[in-house]
Amino acid sequence: MTLSQHFFELEEDTWGTHDTQFWGLEPDNSGEGPDCPRCGEPIGPLAWLPPHRVRLELYGQGLGDFVRGPGGGNSFLISERFAEAFRTEGLTGLLGFHPAEVLRVQRKRKGPKPGAVPRYFAVTPCYSRAAVDEAHSRIRRVEPVTCPECRYSGLDSIHGYTLEPGTWSGEDVFRPRGLPGSIVVSERFAELVQRHGLTNMKLIPTEEFVWDPLRLGPPPAPAPCV
Q: How far is the CB of 139 from Zn ion (least distance, A)?
A: 16
Please say which residue, 83 or 150, places its beta carbon nearer to Zn ion: 150
Q: How far is the CB of 217 from Zn ion (least distance, A)?
A: 28
Q: Does 39 bind Zn ion (CB under 5 A)?
A: yes
CB burial readout 170-194, b (16+ within 10 A) else e = ebbbbbbbbbbebbbbbbbbbebbe
Contacting residue, 6, 38, 108, 195, with Zn ion by CB under 5 A? 38
- CA separation for the pair 226, 223 (Å, rounded): 9
Please say which residue, 93 or 178, places its beta carbon nearer to Zn ion: 178
Please say which residue, 38 or 87, places its beta carbon nearer to Zn ion: 38
C-beta separation of 83 from 52 below 8 A: no
Please say which residue, 34 or 118, places its beta carbon nearer to Zn ion: 34
Classify residue 17 by its DSSP letter: T
**Strand ranges in 132-218 using DSSP code E only, listed in sequence order:** 139-141, 155-159, 173-177, 184-185, 201-205, 210-211
Q: How far is the CB of 131 from Zn ion (least distance, A)?
A: 12
- CA separation for the pair 42, 197 (Å, rounded): 36
Please say which residue, 36 or 163, places its beta carbon nearer to Zn ion: 36
Please say which residue, 38 or 109, places its beta carbon nearer to Zn ion: 38
Q: Which of 37-45, 61-69, 164-172, 187-195 is the region at the interface with Zn ion (rule: CB under 5 A)?
A: 37-45
Q: 64: which residues sit within 8 A by CB, 6+ positions away?
A: 12, 13, 16, 18, 19, 20, 79, 199, 200, 201
Q: Does 47 bind Zn ion (CB under 5 A)?
A: no
Q: How far is the CB of 155 from Zn ion (least distance, A)?
A: 15
- Binding mask 132-171 toward Zn ion (x if CB under 5 A, else -) reads ---------------x-xx---------------------
Classify residue 206 by its DSSP letter: G
Q: How far is the CB of 43 from Zn ion (least distance, A)?
A: 7
Cα 60–64–68 angle (5° rounding)?
Answer: 100
Cα 219–180–44 angle (5° rounding)?
Answer: 130
Residues that bind Zn ion in the complex, under the rule CB under 5 A:
36, 38-39, 147, 149-150
